[in-house]
């Protein structure tokens, strides 16, 4: 098990998973007073919760958590567990004599691995929230438990992926981090070299989607989706958070090919705690690079599961 640590002030990350059913959930908690937030959805097959309220004209100005979950649409149930946890902590939007936590979320499709009947539920969401800290596992934990990549030839030729994290800090006190659960239809690239993707029949080499498409390969339909969240202590409005999420998608394009397909529901949230003045373009650039590195981290820290090999296996075969 590999761990990462976030240094972005006030934010914590927790995970919970079903290691037999091969699914899980990751919770990113904002500081208690909440964070400005935005989202950018690029894929054509998304599964999300409470994204409409992130529009700049909507009343709620801050949210309290982002939930990234496996289980496809079933996994949205985990968000209610996070709400229950935060409500018990007195965290939320004040409504009369109660507080209503504002929890946004997105899901990825992992029903092809492990048990198709396993999915994150209320209890798993609550557990992940209760575990949130500045140190957390990456790889095949949390939302990355059932993640895989390279599925244009079908899941039987895919590779195991996971979840990853990367962050940057600047001398003026600015921090920008990114957490990614990588479940792409395409391959993962670093410096134009495939790290993980669709495999040949004997699993000895990669077969790129470019190669398949250029030869008229008829893709096998499936559902995928890479989902992530940028966290920062910058002072950003909701509209600026959305802009950062949009720029962060360039990190997807630099690491995943093809990306944002009709079989993906790629989604990036951004949460900003509002402590440090910083140009939105600077935050956006750092978010893009953090997303790219988090994607690579997700693949490199993955382990073989569900009968699918991982990055380490391919390195041994070289």
Would you give per-residue pLDDT tens digits along the chain (318 residues)? 899 999 999 999 999 999 999 999 999 999 999 999 999 998 778 899 999 999 989 989 999 999 999 999 999 999 999 999 999 999 998 888 889 999 999 999 999 999 999 999 999 999 999 999 999 999 999 999 999 999 888 889 999 999 999 999 999 999 999 999 999 988 999 999 999 998 988 888 898 888 887 877 766 555 678 999 999 999 999 999 999 999 999 999 999 998 888 778 899 999 999 999 999 999 999 999 999 999 999 999 999 999 999 998 888 766
Distance CA 248, CA 293 (A): 11
Q: Which domain holds residue 127?
A: 2-317
Residue 27 near residue 65, CB atoms below 8 Å: yes
Q: Is the pTM of this model over 0.75?
A: yes
For 173: left if phi > 0, alpha if psi spans -120 to 50, otherwise beta; the answer is: left
Number of domains present in the structure of the chain: 1
* Tokens matching residue 305: 């599961």
Question: Which among 15, 66, 46, 38 has a CA at the least distance from the CA of 287?
Answer: 38
CATH code at position 131: 3.60.70.12
Nearest to 134, CA basis, from 170, 95, 167, 87? 167
């Amino acid at each position: 098990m590999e761990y990462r640590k976030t240094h972005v002030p006030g934010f914590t990350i927790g995970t919970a998973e079903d290691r037999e059913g091969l699914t899980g959930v990751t919770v990113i908690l904002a500081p208690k007073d909440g964070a400005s937030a935005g989202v950018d959805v690029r894929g054509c097959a998304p599964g999300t919760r409470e994204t409409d309220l992130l529009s700049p004209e909507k009343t709620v100005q801050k949210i309290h958590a982002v939930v990234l979950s496996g289980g496809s649409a079933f996994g949205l149930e985990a968000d209610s567990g996070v709400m229950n946890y935060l409500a018990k902590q007195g965290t939320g939007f004040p409504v009369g004599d109660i507080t209503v936590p504002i929890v946004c979320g997105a899901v990825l499709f992992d029903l092809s691995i492990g048990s198709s009947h396993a999915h994150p539920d209320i209890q798993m969401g609550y557990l992940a929230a209760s575990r949130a800290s500045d140190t957390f596992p990456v790889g095949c934990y949390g939302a990355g438990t059932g993640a895989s990549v390279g599925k244009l030839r079908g899941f039987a030729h895919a590779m195991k992926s996971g979840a990853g994290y990367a962050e940057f800090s600047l001398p003026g006190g600015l921090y920008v981090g990114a957490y990614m659960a990588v479940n792409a239809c395409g391959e993962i690239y670093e410096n134009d070299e495939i790290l993980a993707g669709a495999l040949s029949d004997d699993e000895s080499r990669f077969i790129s989607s470019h190669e398949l498409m250029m030869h008229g390969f008829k893709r096998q339909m499936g559902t995928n989706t890479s989902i992530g969240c940028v966290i920062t202590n910058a002072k950003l409005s909701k509209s600026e958070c959305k802009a950062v999420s949009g720029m962060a998608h360039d990190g997807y394009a630099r690491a995943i090919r093809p990306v944002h397909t009709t079989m993906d529901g790629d989604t990036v949230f951004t949460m900003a705690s509002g402590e440090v003045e910083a140009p939105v373009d600077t935050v956006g650039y750092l978010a893009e690079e953090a997303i790219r590195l988090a994607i690579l981290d997700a693949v490199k820290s993955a382990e073989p599961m569900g009968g699918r090999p991982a990055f380490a296996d391919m390195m041994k075969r070289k």
